[in-house]
Amino acid sequence: KAGVTQTPRYLIKTRGQQVTLSCSPISGHRSVSWYQQTPGQGLQFLFEYFSETQRNKGNFPGRFSGRQFSNSRSEMNVSTLELGDSALYLCASSSGGQNQETQYFGPGTRLLVL
Amino acid sequence: AQTVTQSQPEMSVQEAETVTLSCTYDTSESDYYLFWYKQPPSRQMILVIRQEAYKQQNATENRFSVNFQKAAKSFSLKISDSQLGDAAMYFCAYRVFYNNNDMRFGAGTRLTVKP
């Protein structure tokens, strides 16, 4: 099976712009979670989608949003970018079932906000 | 709230030797999962090992094993016969069995393997 893929891998934006990141989960996986990783804050949970519905949400401002499509692919959007949004954004997929809690991660999208 | 603590920001080990990475967590739940993930410099997070809290037997995956002490809320990772390719950031993570809660990660331990 192909692993989790994320596009783009690298992105440079300026303050005030918006950005959309994409994640394709492992085939058959219905849950997609997003994380922000920074040197200062470590790995922080953004949100999780399951069957096109947001199932969990972390403590991030409303500028961070996401969605999931019927094929389980997910997008994350950040509006009005700030310098502090520079980070590695990781996507992880799992089957979503109660006994299948293991998440498999993609390679990440490195976002730099100038 | 569940928290995960990795008290060793950095560790080093000589090639072929054994190293243990520490992890403690705080929870009031009885059913949960614990994980160790490895993140090499290439940045791809890789699952190393997983433990279900209801299983008393410690999980083992080849050279990787855990020491799970549920009462002490401790979940350490032992790497035997360390290899240069083991050099990475190691993250301990926790997830509740029910309610589909999010995964909580520790701050990570950077492991250096010396030839």
Q: Which residues of A touch B43 (CB under 8 A)?
A: 88, 107-108
Q: Does A32 touch chain B (CB under 8 A)?
A: no
Q: Who contacts B63 (Cβ-Cβ below 8 Å, separation ≥6)?
A: B79, B80, B81, B82, B83
Rounded to a whole number, what is the distance in Å from the CA of A29 to chain B's nearest CA?
15
What was the pLDDT predicted at B17? Answer: 97
What was the pLDDT predicted at B106? Answer: 95
Tell which residue, B78, B87, B90, B113, has the closest CA to residue B4.
B90
User: Does the beta-carbon distance from B45 to A101 stay under 8 Å?
Assistant: no
pLDDT at A99 over 60: no
pLDDT above 70 covers what percent of chain B?
Answer: 94
**Rounded mean pLDDT, A10-33:** 96
Q: Residue A60, class by beta-carbon neighbours within 10 Å (0-12 exposed, 13-18 middle, 19+ buried)?
A: middle
pLDDT at A88 over 90: yes
| Dihedral of alpha carbons A65, A93, A73, A90, sign | positive
DSSP A29-55: --EEEEEEEETTTEEEEEEEEETTEEE
pLDDT at B1 over 70: no
Q: Which two tokens stand for residue A73?
A: 């692919």
Give A25-52 pLDDT, tens digit per residue. Answer: 999 999 999 999 998 889 999 999 999 9
* Strands, E assignment, A1-108: 5-7, 10-13, 19-24, 31-38, 42-50, 53-57, 64-68, 74-78, 87-94, 104-105
| CA pair distance B65, A74, nearest whole angstrom | 34
Average pLDDT, rounded, for chain B: 92
Paired with B50 in beta bridges are B35
Tell which residue, B88, B95, B92, B98, has the closest CA to residue B37.
B92
Rounded to a whole number, what is the distance in Å from the CA of A70 to chain B's nearest CA?
20
Q: Does A102 touch chain B (CB under 8 A)?
A: yes
pLDDT at B99 over 70: no
- What are the backbone angles phi and psi of residue A83, rounded to the nearest 5°? -55, -35
pLDDT above 70 covers what percent of chain A?
Answer: 95
User: Does the beta-carbon distance from B100 to A108 stay under 8 Å?
Assistant: no
Alpha carbon B100 to its chain centroid, in Å, reads 20
